[in-house]
Structure 1
Amino acid sequence: MQLVRGLHNLRPEHRGCVATIGNFDGVHRGHQAILARLRERAAELGVPSCVVIFEPQPREFFAPQTAPVRLSRLRDKLELLAAAGVDRVLCLAFNRRLRELSAAEFVRRVLLEGLGVQHLEVGDDFRFGCDRAGDFAFLQQAGQTHGFTVEEASTIEVDGVRVSSTGVRDALTAADFARVESLLGRPFQIAGRVLHGQKLGRQLGTPTANIQLKRCRVPLTGVYLVSIELAGVQQPGVANIGVRPSVKSDGQAHLEVYLLDFAGDLYGQHLSVTFKHKLRDEQRFASLDALKAAIAADVAAARAYWHQPRADQPLE
């Protein structure tokens, strides 16, 4: 998959495509349906498929403190789009200049002059341009004027409820990971590189992998049962994700994973952590001894969970 960052990096060879536009946060089953249709139309027309995304996401630009927490970082999103068979991603910097583009100017500069769009696939709630003046009807009219077709993506429902990134966030908040998986079409994961940390886990008898998050906010916090794939084998573990209130904290979210019965050097590896079940909320303990006792209880609960027979048990 080819990544193009910014309109200024578009070249004549990038013109002529089937495109869709959106945040695609989490690349859930609704997004996947749009991408499947995008691939079909691209094959019919014999042109590449292109996904246009924004960085930061528009709501993060307008209200960074109250914008919805991301389900996936940009890197994760690009990997998911590539896995979905997308040929090209155009990533536009959402800044004041882009924010002030009228809907007509967005169509002219991005869709016509930049991409030479032949067909556009968009969600039923898509809005664009200054003050969100552009909508599906506007795109249809523009398509008739400029010679490209526009198709409204069908809504995907699970148990009668429309699939959305908001729905995934709500399911994560409720720690309903079965629901999360049904909405995403895959288990929920957070990926990152293992860094050197404070090594407090070693002092507490549970050495942990400190996984770099590269995000200010995370879509879930607490203590969870997780698994990590290493050399093709699923390794069960316990993870704490949050600000670590019981130790000296920098106020940033951290992800620390203790793998059951594992010995090895994970520093520098890029790992994907799959979340299975929530044990408890993150909490502040009065002493390291109290924290150590809580961790021991978490590990015991993890062993009991992984070793009980279940129909969905993924590990031996």
Structure 2
Amino acid sequence: MLVREDDPIAPPLERAVIAIGNFDGVHRGHQALIAHARDMANERGVACGVLTFSPHPRAFFAPDKPFFRITPMREKMAVFASLGLDGAIVRRFDAPLAATSAADFLERFIRAEIGASGVVIGHDFHFGRGREGTPETLRTFCEAHGIACAVVPVVEETGGAISSSAIRTALAEGDVARANALLGYRWFALGDIRHGARRGRDLGYPTANMRLPDGCGLRHGIYAVRMQVDGAIRDGVASFGRRPTFDNGAPLLETFLFDFSGDLYGRQVGVEFVGWIRGEERFESVEALIARMNSDSALARSMLAAPCGPRSILESA
């Protein structure tokens, strides 16, 4: 999949059908929008891509307020690629872009840069200075310039609309099963394995350690996980948190892989979250901690032996 980050647009995205949005999470609602764009592109015999922005506007307008990105850019691109898109255009959301009028936004991105043959947005997408651009603004512009246009309605299920906010809430509660159901895939994180304090090795549970992005709102606790390394998927159990039994330090994701003894330091891996086991706890003794880790591992093995719900982006990469 071609990715253009503030570069001139080039084939195969010229004259493409473009889905526009922030797409944090690329959840099932976003996927419905992208599927509509892909169908439109197939009908016209052109490429299909997305136009998205970095950083997220919420992070730009409130830089001092932590913002939980469900899918940082690398993860977002991985999900886009799994959906069969021809490319992604990433434009920097900065002060000049924030000050761009809705009319200039459409003229610049839709006509001048891309020359889009079709545009698809969600029902609640706004654009331009002060969010002045609406779906109706886009429809009027597209009609005037002979560009196909579609506004995709909200995707709902029992409990309400599928939204990025609902997914952030589920992850903040540790409910990865609920988050995964809304996403339509297993939530995952990409990163590099770094050296830790090696306490896990001393406890009989050597871990592969990685930091999740600043602002990650995942509930601290123990999870059943799968890790992709060198194209292979391995089962494991992971702790995300501050290690209150030891140092109460910066949040760290520590993953113990079952039946594995290799060295992962410095490797790029992906970790997908399959199930919630328990919250983070402080133990009065190392022996009590090890006993609980043994039971956590047994429960994780049981969870991972059962059907694991939505599809895996890591397995399709």
Question: In the aligned structure 2, how far is the partner of 1:186 from the partner of 1:100?
Answer: 35
CA deviation after TM superposition for structure 1 residue 111, in Å: 1.0
146-155 or 119-128: which moved more? 146-155
SS in 2 for 1:278: strand
| Residue 210 of structure 1 pairs with residue 209 of structure 2 | yes
Show the counterpart of 2:292.
297
CA deviation after TM superposition for structure 1 residue 93, in Å: 0.6
In the TM superposition, 1:93-104 aligns within 5 A as 93-104=92-103
| Residue 22 of structure 1 pairs with residue 21 of structure 2 | yes
Seen in structure 2, the aligned counterparts of structure 1 residues 270 and 308 have a Cα distance that, compared at 3 Å, is closer
CA contact (8 A) 2:28 2:182 kept: yes
SS in 2 for 1:191: strand
Show the counterpart of 2:2.
2
Seen in structure 2, the aligned counterparts of structure 1 residues 225 and 142 have a Cα distance that, compared at 3 Å, is same
In the TM superposition, 1:68-217 aligns within 5 A as 68-159=67-158, 161-213=160-212, 215-217=213-215
SS in 2 for 1:151: strand
SS in 2 for 1:26: coil
Show the counterpart of 2:314.
none
SS in 2 for 1:40: helix
CA deviation after TM superposition for structure 1 residue 13, in Å: 7.0
Q: Per-residue displacement from partner, 1:123-172 (whole Å, max 9, x unpaired)?
A: 00000101000010111111122221221113222225211111112222
CA contact (8 A) 1:158 1:183 kept: no
TM-score normalized by the length of structure 1: 0.87
SS in 1 for 2:117: strand
Seen in structure 2, the aligned counterparts of structure 1 residues 261 and 140 have a Cα distance that, compared at 3 Å, is same
Show the counterpart of 2:307.
312
Q: Percent identity at matched positions?
A: 36
CA deviation after TM superposition for structure 1 residue 12, in Å: 8.0
Question: In the aligned structure 1, how far is the partner of 2:38 from the partner of 2:142?
Answer: 20
C-alpha root-mean-square deviation of aligned residues, in Å? 2.6
Question: In the aligned structure 2, how far is the partner of 1:20 from the partner of 1:33?
Answer: 11
Seen in structure 2, the aligned counterparts of structure 1 residues 172 and 291 have a Cα distance that, compared at 3 Å, is farther
Question: In the aligned structure 1, how far is the partner of 2:16 from the partner of 2:303?
Answer: 51
Seen in structure 2, the aligned counterparts of structure 1 residues 280 and 98 have a Cα distance that, compared at 3 Å, is same
Please list every run of 5 or more consecutive structure 2 residues that lacks an aligned counterpart in the other structure.
Answer: 310-317
Show the counterpart of 1:255.
253
Please list every run of 5 or more consecutive structure 1 residues that lacks an aligned counterpart in the other structure.
Answer: none
TM-score normalized by the length of structure 2: 0.87
Question: In the aligned structure 1, how far is the partner of 2:59 from the partner of 2:304?
Answer: 44
CA contact (8 A) 1:18 1:49 kept: yes
In the TM superposition, 1:225-264 aligns within 5 A as 225-229=224-228, 235-248=234-247, 251=250, 253-264=251-262
Seen in structure 2, the aligned counterparts of structure 1 residues 51 and 308 have a Cα distance that, compared at 3 Å, is closer
Show the counterpart of 1:268.
266
The count of aligned residue pairs is 308
CA deviation after TM superposition for structure 1 residue 227, in Å: 2.6
Letter in 1 for 2:111: L
Seen in structure 2, the aligned counterparts of structure 1 residues 255 and 134 have a Cα distance that, compared at 3 Å, is same
SS in 2 for 1:297: helix
Question: In the aligned structure 1, how far is the partner of 2:101 from the partner of 2:308?
Answer: 52
Show the counterpart of 2:279.
281
Show the counterpart of 2:50.
51
Question: In the aligned structure 1, how far is the partner of 2:281 from the partner of 2:89?
Answer: 42
Seen in structure 2, the aligned counterparts of structure 1 residues 13 and 266 have a Cα distance that, compared at 3 Å, is closer
Seen in structure 2, the aligned counterparts of structure 1 residues 292 and 154 have a Cα distance that, compared at 3 Å, is farther
CA deviation after TM superposition for structure 1 residue 216, in Å: 0.7
